[in-house]
Structures are given as C-alpha cells and as structure tokens.
Amino acid sequence: MYILKLLSTSIKSNLQHDLAYRADLIVNLVLSLIGLGSDLFGLSIIYANTNDIGGWGPSELIILLGVWRLVNVLMNMIIWPNTFNFNMSVHDGSLDYTLLLPVNSQLLISTKRIVIWHLFDFVIAIGLIIIGLAHNTGITSPLQIVAFLGLTLSGTTIIYSLWITLISLTFWFTKFGNSIVIMSAVLDAGRYPAHVYPFWLRALMTFVVPVAVATTVPLQALRGELQWWQAIGFLGIGLIAVWLSSRAWIAGLRRYSGASS
C-alpha cells in the first residue's frame, strides 16, 4: 500500500513535470504513431513477399512487435531517463539525498523520473498484443496464454535487472552507466524472432543482453514450443536476476563514497 502511494505520488509529480513541456508531449505522441506506422508498414512489405519469418506468421509477428514495444516502453519510460538521472546524481553528489530517504533506494532510483507520455506507447503495445492474440489460431490451451504473460513479465524483469546491475557497476567503474547504449542497440534486434539471426547474434541476444528471453521466449510459449520445465526455468531465471541485481546494488552502495564537497 505504502509503495503504491509512493508510486502514485511519483507518477503525479512526473506528470506535472511532463505537462510543463506541452510541445514535447505532442511531438512525442506524433513520433510514437509514426513509429507504429513504420513498424506495421515494414511487416506488411515482408509478408507481401513471404508467408512466414522463421516459421512465424503475421499474427505472431504482431504479438512479438507488441512484446518488443513493451520492453521499449520500459527502456524509454524508466531506464533511459533514470540512467541519465543516476549518472548526473553520482556526478553532482545528489545521490546522497536519495540514499538518505527511508525507502528502498533501488526503487527510488528506478522511479525518480518516469516519462509519463510513454504510457501511450504502453497502450499501443498492449493493443498490438491483443490484436495479434485475437487473430492467432494456433493457441490450443489457456495455459499457453498464461505462460506467455508470465514469461513476458519475467523477461521484462530480466532486462530491468540487467540495467540495475549495469548501473551498480558505476560504483566500481566510473561512467559504466553509459553501457546502457550497447544494451539498447542489442534490444533493437528483438523485434524479430531470435532464430532468424546468425548464431553469434542469437547468443548475444540470449546470454549477454537477454532480449530474446524477453521477446522470443514468451512467443515460443504461446506457440506451444516450450516444455513446462523450460517455462519454469525461465521464470526462475527472472527471479534469480532480480535477486542478483539487488545484491549488486547493495554491494555498490557499500563502495559509494559520494562526490566530494
């Protein structure tokens, strides 16, 4: 309850921040629609020339696009703005104040800046997933949908945990937070099924920046291609990632020496 109240206050405060820049809000909404149009146009061109991509049909690619956009909402709404905030706060010492608040500091640095207008992208992503699911005829069991939703949540959590781990490394290696740029570049590949890529890129997408775990794996569950133990395994990896990232954050804080006065 307390966390929800805190989040709602933070969202309100961020909304007030975003509303102060009206032109930005309108431009970004237009850009979101252009991005959606461009993605759908790209898919329509591909499917005009072939019946499937790596064995996946148009409805599955639309769901994949929705899941990939969901991961991007996490990136653009929370990870990017808070990476910038975090790097600045380490540099100018204002992280000191965040660490002295009687709230989990990882939660605070993750939610200090939430770019609210990306909720529009969130709605688009959910819309794509619903439209794709409605047109998908290959789903034979409700469990497939449950596994899909669970693995989407777990995959997104793994991406978030990777981010927390990367910014925690800033406490050892100055400016390590900038490695988010690499993470973001690899994430771009997640809009297509991982198995269409060469082995080295597939390995990169699975083990280094696990975007494939966040996008392709849930779709595999939806297609009934995952054994139950594989699905449980991926969910377990999500939990381990959360635990490891929080350990990295706590270890980083012990090393924190603050900016000099």
Partner 1 sequence: MQVVNKSLERPTPSAGTDPIVVEGLSKTYQVTDREGGFGAAMRSFVKRKFRDVKAVQNVSFRIGTGEIVGFLGPNGAGKTTTLKMLSGLLHPTSGTARVLGFTPWERNSGYLRAMTLVMGQRNRLSWDIPAADSFLLNQAIYRISDADYKRTFDELNELLELAPIIRKPVRNLSLGERMKCELAASLLHRPSVLFLDEPTIGLDISAQVRIRAFIKEYNRRSGATIVLTSHYMADVTALCERIIIIHHGQLKYDGKLADLSRRIAPFKLISVTLGECSDCDLTPYGTVVPSESNEASAKHSVQVKADEVATITARMLAELPVIDLTIEDPPIEDVIERAFHE
2 vs 199 by CB, closer to partner 1: 2
Task: Look at residues 91, 103, 85 and name the one whose alpha carbon lies nearest to residue 4.
Answer: 103
User: Could you count the other beta carbons within 10 Å of the beta carbon of residue 136?
Assistant: 19
The size of the chain, in residues, is: 261
Determine if 10 is a binding residue for partner 1 (CB under 8 A).
yes
Residue 48 binding partner 1, by CB under 8 A: no
Would you state the structure tokens that stand for residue 180, as one six-digit string? 């988010």
Q: Residue 53 pairs with which residues in a beta bridge?
A: 56
Give the contact letters, 101-140, x = binds to partner 1 (CB under 8 A), - = no. xxx-------------------------------------
Q: With contacts defined by CB under 8 A, name the span among 16-24, 51-59, 133-141, 176-184 that binds partner 1.
A: 16-24
Residues 88-107 within binding reach of partner 1 (CB under 8 A)? 92-94, 96-97, 99-103
Q: Which residue, 51 or 261, is less far from partner 1 as judged by CB?
A: 261
Q: Among residues 48 and 100, whose Cβ is nearest to partner 1? A: 100
Contact 208, 179 (CB under 8 A): no
5 binds partner 1 (CB under 8 A): yes
Nearer to partner 1, 6 or 169 (CB): 6
Give the residue among 54, 57, 112 at the shortest CA–CA distance from 88.
112
- The encoded tokens of residue 29 equal 């909404």
Which residues are paired to 56 by β-bridges? Answer: 53
Give exposure, 54-82, as e/b (b: 16+ Cβ within 10 Å).
Answer: eebbbbbbbbbbbbbbbbbbbbbbbbbbb
Q: Count residues contacting partner 1 (CB under 8 A)? A: 25
Residue 4 beta carbon to partner 1: minimum distance, rounded to whole angstroms:
10
Site for partner 1 in 64-93 (CB under 8 A): 92-93
Give the binding range for partner 1 (CB under 8 A) out of 144-152, 188-196, 213-221, 252-260. 252-260
Q: How far is the CB of 21 from partner 1 (least distance, A)?
A: 9
Tell me the window of 11-19, 48-56, 199-207, 220-228 that interacts with partner 1 (CB under 8 A). 11-19
Selected from 20, 23, 48, 134, the binder of partner 1 by CB under 8 A is 20
DSSP 57: -
Question: 117 or 148, CB closer to partner 1?
Answer: 117
* CA 156/CA 235 separation, integer angstroms: 11
- How many CB atoms neighbour CB 37 within 10 A? 10
Q: How far apart are alpha carbons 179 and 123 in whole angstroms? A: 28
Cα 125 to the chain's mean position, in Å?
12
Using CB under 8 A, list all residues that contact partner 1.
Answer: 2, 5-6, 9-10, 13, 16-17, 20, 92-94, 96-97, 99-103, 254, 256-258, 260-261
